[in-house]
Amino acid sequence: MRKLWIFILFFSIKLVSGQDVEFSQYYANPLYLNPAFAGSENYTRIALNYKSLLPSSYGNYTDYSASVDKYFDGVSGGLGFQIMNDKQSQGIINNLSFSLIYAYHASLSNNWALSTGFKVGYNINTLNANNVVLPDMIDPVNGVSSTTMESGLHQKSMYFDFSFGMLTWYENYYFGVAIDHLTKPQSSFGSDDPGPIDRKYTVNGGMEIPFYNSIYRVNMTVSPNFIYQQQGSSSKINLGAYLNRNYFTTGIWLRTNTQLNFTGVVAMLGFVTDYSIFAYSYDVPFYKGGFDGIINGAHEVTFVYKFMYKRKRKKMKAIKCPKF
């Protein structure tokens, strides 16, 4: 269905400084969180991610991500490839990106490793408002016509993008830093003066705490985590924890700003085997109170599959980060 208000809202803001897509299952989309994660597993990893934001509203934002990565002895690191598609305002705005990733892995000791990642992406952003009803198309007598005096109903912006990240882990501890949009590429619609995309800074860290049974075998693990992100004038701190036992993983994240005011909560549940992960999460925003906040949340579904190598990599231990 064509929505008049979406077009009016969009073109009333000639230049918008937008924020990057945020997936709630951070570690289930590791190449998006930090390019240094490429090849961090002892397997070839394929990840599929889907997110639907505010499904009950007219905005209808949906995001898709597909990635694959693997460690190669010949390049002393991991190689990865990712495709992402971000649809906004019922597909009027569409952002498609393709990314190639390389991460160099170094073993600093038997229990300490460091990874440095680089990502180069190509983005295709399109605006297609040809099917939108505009004010001058509405005739009080004859109804809606198919002609309009407006221009710029179909636009396209293409640009290269670059990211850098570092990740280190020691025994059960891990810490990472990533910078996206290093060159601050320019892209906008509805303006003759394109604006730069602000750099995004991400800092993540956490640990895995094992609990043992009576015969001193790991019975379950708890993983407390934090993720700090800043892009332009927007900054946020996400605090979370995962509980892993047998094949099931549960998690909860609290979204806050730098003043530590809670802005939302994310609840997660996953089924995890040695070679696959299936996870679901629901993101509830606090800016909408009561029942509106519950039904206007975001659904996210992830499927990850891992193919075992013919032989395991040498001298490198897989990072003990959360599964999703």
Summarised one tens digit per residue, pLDDT across range 170-205 is: 988 999 999 999 999 987 665 555 678 899 999 999
Domain ranges of the chain: 4-12+29-308
Which residue type, as a one-letter code, is found at position 262? F
Q: Of 14-28, 151-165, 263-277, which one has max mean pLDDT?
A: 263-277
Tell me: pLDDT of 279 over 50. Answer: yes
- 113-117, 124-128, 206-210, 242-246: least confidently modelled range: 124-128
Spatial neighbors of 96 by CB under 8 A, at least 6 apart, are 83, 84, 85, 86, 123, 124, 125, 126
Spatial neighbors of 40 by CB under 8 A, at least 6 apart, are 30, 69, 71, 78, 103, 105, 115, 167, 318, 319, 321
Looking at residue 314, its pLDDT comes to 56
Do 99 and 31 touch, CB atoms closer than 8 A? yes
Question: For residue 135, what is the DSSP state?
Answer: G
Looking at residue 7, its pLDDT comes to 47
Tokens standing for 294?
Answer: 């519950």
Which residue type, as a one-letter code, is found at position 98? F
Tell me: pLDDT of 246 over 90. Answer: no
61-72 vs 77-88, strand pairing mode: antiparallel
Looking at residue 3, its pLDDT comes to 47
Q: Name the more confident of 157 and 53.
A: 157
CA-closest candidate to residue 51, choices 69, 66, 68, 65? 65
Tell me: pLDDT of 16 over 60. Answer: no
CA-closest candidate to residue 42, choices 275, 282, 279, 302? 275
Candidates 2.40.160.40, 2.60.120.10, 2.30.30.100, 1.20.140.160; correct CATH number of 4-12+29-308?
2.40.160.40
Q: How far is CA 49 from the centre of its chain?
A: 9
Tell me: pLDDT of 260 over 90. Answer: no
Mean pLDDT of 211-230: 88
